Structure 1
Amino acid sequence: METHDLFVTQEQLERYRQRGYTNADILPKTKEKRNMNLMNYFTLWMGSIHNISNYVAVGGFLALGMKPMHVVLAIILAGVITALVMAFNGRAGSKYGIPFAMHLRSVFGDIGSKLPGALRGVVAAIAWFGVQNYFGSQALLVLIIRFFPAFAGIAPGFNFLGLTAPEFICFALFFIINVLIGLGGGGVLNRFTAILNPLIYLVFGGMMIWGIQQAGFGAIFSYQATEVSSTTTFMGYLIIIAAILSTWAAPAVSVSDFTQNAESTRDQSIGQMLSMLVGYIIFAFAAVAVLNGASVAGINHDGQVLNIVNSWDSNIAVFVASFVLLMTTVSTNATGNIIPAAYQLTALFPSVMNYRRGVLAASLVSFIILPWRFANSAGGFITFLNLIGSLLGPVAGVMMIHFYLIKNQIIDLNALYFAKEDASLSQYSGINTNAYIATFAGLIVSIIGQFIPSLAWLSEIGWIAGFAIAAAVYYVLTLLGKDKFSTRVK
């Protein structure tokens, strides 16, 4: 990929500061601050692939009725496609050094960027925060019961909207821990990445070996669940690809927050591609080996990797595996969910919100939505993934068409960082109405299957449907519009 990366000067930054852009997080990164190389991007997502929610999703994939090897191949293909989306949508960040907020402004306008920003930073982040809290609390529950069995019998008649007393206590405890970390900023957790990632691959590599020992390689890849859906192989591939794209829907939209720090577009592109390819090859074989290996061995796990961990005889193995799962969840939950949600709430309601209030408000909403209701089964979790994909797939489609086909990868930084008094003169002010129409068209198509049974297949591939329709509609509207770039309402 040929690159022509641009680096702002200190004089340019000073000009933008004088226009009111005093927050360093909004300004483009200078060459000196772009310190992430190919290896940094190669390791960036490796640990995030192996988490509880992804293993739950694979449990749902295996229930589609496809042969296990097809599931493995579909997961790897989905990883490659996800990497392409991340790398290409991240090019605006790596080429110009701009963060997600300004990348979004360059597409939707300064006013128009608020809604898609809220979809990523509030809706998706809050929902994911609640779901990850639930999965983390389940790992904590496994750990506590393993060493204190009496904990499982606390208040046998208690039921809090579907949670038993032990489940509620663990959820509340894990919830509070994550909120406290969110209030502290969560940045310190990044220092543990170098230690945590090797531990993740050590644990799940060991689990893959365990699964093969339990059942044998041949039995694992010939096993099929007794209760499966009648999905065709082709549709199964699309469902798996859409679900994994939905898993990464939020980072894929806001990937400029990561690529703005790239030493070059080449580094972030190759690094992310290798990260996803290697990570998902390992993950695909490990997940299928663990889940099917346990099934062949007669372990009733219901697609939940935690049930498999709890079946082990070794307390040390249970402790290490559960601890790594807990650490992974805490780290990704703070940096990927609650912190973006808090900042987005602050941006949307600056007069009443600050960062700490944003953390508390987002946390409260994540509790109110009762995330365990749609996260405690593989099928329900895939439905949740498709919903997130339906919300953010159209946004990604518009962003990529705009940057590559409409603007030819050109962003005018001087116009993007306009002064308030000059807003009427900037092409990036107001609302890009074409982008809004296209985004809503993609959203409607991706969720219509929830209301029209004959179109249910569209909702099963929500991210793909939303992305494709939004991209196509935006391109056609722009070509037909008076302004060949976009139509804006000031």
Structure 2
Amino acid sequence: MSKKQHSAAEDIVTVDNKTLQRFKDRGYNEDVLPKTADKRNMNKKNYFTLWMGAVHNIPNYTAVGGFLFLGLSPINVILAIIISSLVVSAFMVYNGRAGSKYGIPFAMQLRSTYGVVGSKLPGFLRGCIAAIAWFGLQTYTGALALVILLGKLWPGFLDLGGDFSFFGIDMPGLIAFSLLWIVNVLIALGGGGSLNKFTAVLNPLIYLVFGGMTIWAINVAGGIGNILSYTATGSEVVNHPAMIGYLIIISSIIAVWAAPGSSVSDFTQNATSTKDQAIGQTASLVVAYLIFAFSSVFILIGGSLHFGVQEWNVLNIVNKWDSLPAIIIAVLVLLMTTISTNSTSNIIPAAYQLSALFPKKINYKRGVWIASIIGFLIMPWKLMENPDSIFIFLNTIGALLGPVAGVMLAQYYIVDKQQIDLDALYMEKGKNQEKNPYKGINIEAYIATIVALVASLIGQFVPALSLMSDLSWFIGAGLGFGLYALLKLRKTNTREEK
């Protein structure tokens, strides 16, 4: 192995061809091997455009409507969202450092934390269940937008199929879902290169469209003052103290990133340097959320004031516009952001994880097809028929990933001290590996994860502790990090005493 120096302060570890071939001979496929220097082609610019679409998507705009019911003023909601961007970027950068330094994907970083056998369960939950479920749901959400667009362009489209129903979805919905599914698959099959080109086109469109929508909202609301003085009304309003409201918003936003943040090494493994991914991701998330904080609050409140009804679904606001060209442009960009989110947060991580779980039978492209087909077969429109059950399910998966992230961070920074033995990590199969630190199951990691998971979920079952569920990611990640570090420290001290 060799080191490629980038500055006096940092370096990245690369493997030479001889080492890479040795790992291949041990049965590891190309998709889970450390990235060589020639494949590290993502720089600051690539990372800057990477997450823009993942911020400006339809579910995130709807979530902001919920934030306005926390009893905070619009300006406080905006500030809380901006602060959240700093927390999210720190999480993404620090958890992505192992990937950028060693060129390893999430599956191998997870193995370095939970062990070869132990990594399979959290990897399956993140890369398969959570990612595939969210892939289907995001595709269906995008399909709702596409139905609006096609209905505006061709009113007869909405009547196609008559009473036809495919397990609960009508013909227009099925056509829209299928079209978006195909686009998502094609972009995912193109991998990082295709995604870089897609986000490069999407990035300037986001500035133009959401900037334009914000200006429209200010005009129809009668000025910024009317928007900032707006107060949400209704039985749903919960008047939390300001500090609690801030923490709930920050926890909610970082929980959205629990899955992509846990597997961020799938993207940082391609970094030209750890510095590039740190600068690029931070700039991407802070700038994206700075725009999103103002645009989301202004558009939702401005639209509500203009149409005389509290409207927290950005699609409904767009659908009420009189200008067909404006509707087309806005919906197209919302569709593109949904596709970008699906690629970065769902289908690509799922494909990599399937490849890691079955390295001899599934490569990345096969993983894309398998995950995509399952995402179709689970019929996400059926899951949406009962919102309570699906959100309980997805919140449970999200709550698990907080503790997983905390344990991963503690392993890399506290236990490993940012040093990973790649030769041991890519262990030789069938050989004596008793002294290999990555063998089997890391019991301490599982104990910390389970305890932290119980703590982060207990509020869903004990009403008096409901606030803990609202802050589940912070509680899960913090407790997972602290408990795992203590267990490892105690184990080390016990060994030294003996």
Q: Determine if the TM-score, normalized by the shorter chain, exceeds 0.5.
A: yes
Alignment of 1:76-95 (within 5 A): 76-95=82-101
Name the amino acid aligned to 1:217. I
Q: Work out whether residues 95 and 265 of structure 1, in 8 Å CA contact, stay in contact via their aligned partners in 2.
A: yes
For structure 1, which segment, 447-456 or 128-137, has the greater mean C-alpha deviation from structure 2 after superposition? 447-456
CA RMSD of aligned residues (A): 3.1
Q: TM-score with structure 2 length normalisation? A: 0.87
Partner in structure 1 of residue 417 of structure 2: 408
Structure 2 vs 1, CA of residues 39 and 5 (structure 1 numbering), >3 Å: closer, same or farther? same
Change (3 A) 1:458 1:430: same
The alpha carbon displacement at 1:286 in A equals 0.6
Amino acid at match of 1:125: A
* Counterpart amino acid of residue 69 in structure 1: I
Equivalent of residue 74 in structure 1, options 80, 105, 109? 80
SS at match of 1:263: coil
User: In the alignment, what sits opposite 2:487?
Assistant: 477
Q: Which residue among 122, 126, 131 is the counterpart of 2:132?
A: 126
- Conserved? CA contact 1:478–1:484, under 8 Å: no
Pair 1:54 & 2:64 matched: no
Report the alpha carbon displacement of residue 254 of structure 1 after superposing the two structures with TM: 1.2
Output the amino acid matched with 1:473: L
Separation in 1, partners of 2:31, 2:47: 20
Asked whether the 8 Å contact 1:386–1:461 carries over to 2, the reply is no
Q: How does 1:14-33 map to 2 (within 5 A)?
A: 14=20, 16-17=22-23, 19-20=25-26, 22-33=28-39
Secondary structure (helix, strand or coil) at the match of 2:35 reads coil
Paired positions, count = 485
Q: Give the conservation status (yes or no) of the 8 Å contact 1:97–1:260.
A: yes
* 8 Å CA contact retained: 2:266, 2:349: no
**Are positions 1:444 and 2:450 aligned together?**
no
Contact 1:386 1:460 in 2 (8 A): no
In structure 2, the partner of 1:217 is 224
1:272 is matched with 281
Change (3 A) 1:240 1:429: same
Q: Match for residue 235 of structure 1?
A: 244
Task: Write the letter of the residue equivalent to 1:323.
Answer: L
Q: Is the 8 A contact 2:303 2:311 kept in 1?
A: no
| Preserved CA contact (<8 Å) 1:243 1:386 | no
CA drift at 1:122: 0.6
Cross-structure match for 2:405:
396
- From 419, 424, 428, give the equivalent of 1:419: 428
Distance 1:238 1:387, change over 3 A: farther
- Counterpart for residue 488 of structure 1: none
Amino acid at match of 2:345: G
| SS in structure 2 at match of 1:409 | coil
Give how far 1:336 is off. 3.3
3-state SS, counterpart of residue 6 of structure 1: strand
CA deviations over 1:156-197 (Å, ceiling 9, x no partner):
767777655544543344345545665676863432221121
Deviation digits for residues 340-378 of structure 1, max 9, x if unmatched?
323423443568767676555534543565545776999
Q: Summarize the Cα distance change of 1:142–1:392 in structure 2 as closer, same or farther, 3 Å threshold.
A: same
The Cα shift of 1:442 comes to 1.6
Q: Cα gap change, 1:401/1:14 in structure 2, threshold over 3 Å: closer, same or farther?
A: closer
| Alpha-carbon spacing, 1:284–1:388, altered in 2? closer, same or farther (3 Å) | farther
Contact 1:21–1:27 at 8 Å: present in 2 too? no
1:38 and 2:48 equivalent? no
* Offset of residue 144 of structure 1: 1.4
Partner of 1:7: 13
Matches for 1:23-422 after TM superposition, within 5 Å: 23-153=29-159, 166-175=172-181, 177-179=183-185, 188-215=194-221, 216-227=223-234, 228-232=236-240, 233-298=242-307, 300=309, 302-349=311-358, 358-359=367-368, 361-363=370-372, 365-367=374-376, 371-372=380-381, 386-420=395-429, 421-422=431-432
Q: CA deviation at 1:409?
A: 1.3
Between the aligned partners of 1:384 and 1:83, the Cα distance in structure 2 is 26
Unaligned runs of 5+ in 2: 1-6
Q: Which moved more, 1:424-433 or 1:25-34?
A: 25-34
* Deviation readout 1:249-277 (Å, 9 max, x if unpaired): 12211111222222322222222222211
C-alpha contact (below 8 Å) 2:107/2:352 kept by paired residues: no
Contact 1:121/1:340, CA 8 A, preserved across alignment: yes
Which amino acid counterpart does residue 83 of structure 2 have in structure 1? Answer: L
Shift of 1:125: 0.5
* Equivalent residue, structure 1, for 2:3: none
Compared CA separation, residues 193 and 473, structure 1 to 2 (3 A): same
The 1:254/1:73 distance shift into structure 2, 3 A limit, reads same
Change in 2 beyond 3 A, CA 1:398/1:366: same
Shift in CA distance, 101/132, structure 1 to aligned 2, threshold 3 Å:
same
| 234-243 vs 425-434, greater mean Cα deviation | 234-243
Question: One-letter code of the match for 2:216?
Answer: W
2:12–2:274 CA contact under 8 A, matched in 1: no
The whole-number CA distance in structure 2 between the counterparts of 1:185 and 1:36 is 12
The letter of the residue matching 1:111 is V
Match runs of 1:450-469 below 5 Å: 450-469=460-479
2: distance between equivalents of 1:277 and 1:326?
22
Cα deviations by residue, 1:404-448 (Å, 9 ceiling, x for unpaired): 112211112222222121433311111111101111112222222
Q: Judge which range, 181-190 or 432-441, deviates more.
A: 181-190
* Deviation of the 1:139 alpha carbon: 1.0
Counterpart CA distance in 2 for 1:454 and 1:262 is 45
CA distance in 2, matches of 1:313, 1:434: 60
**Distance across 1 between alignment mates of 2:184 and 2:15:** 38
After superposition, the C-alpha distances for 1:256-305 in whole angstroms (9 at most, x for unaligned) are 12222223222222222222112111110010000000011125474111
Query: Is the partner of 1:25 in helix, strand or coil?
Result: helix
- Which piece of structure 1 moves more, 345-354 or 59-68? 345-354
User: Contact conserved, 2:26 with 2:427, CA < 8 A, in 1?
Assistant: no
Structure 1 residue runs of 5 or longer lacking an equivalent are 486-490
SS in 1 for 2:32: coil
Change (3 A) 1:325 1:70: same
One-letter amino acid matched to 2:213: M
State the 1:116 CA deviation: 1.5
Contact 2:218 2:298 in 1 (8 A): yes
AA paired with 1:112? G
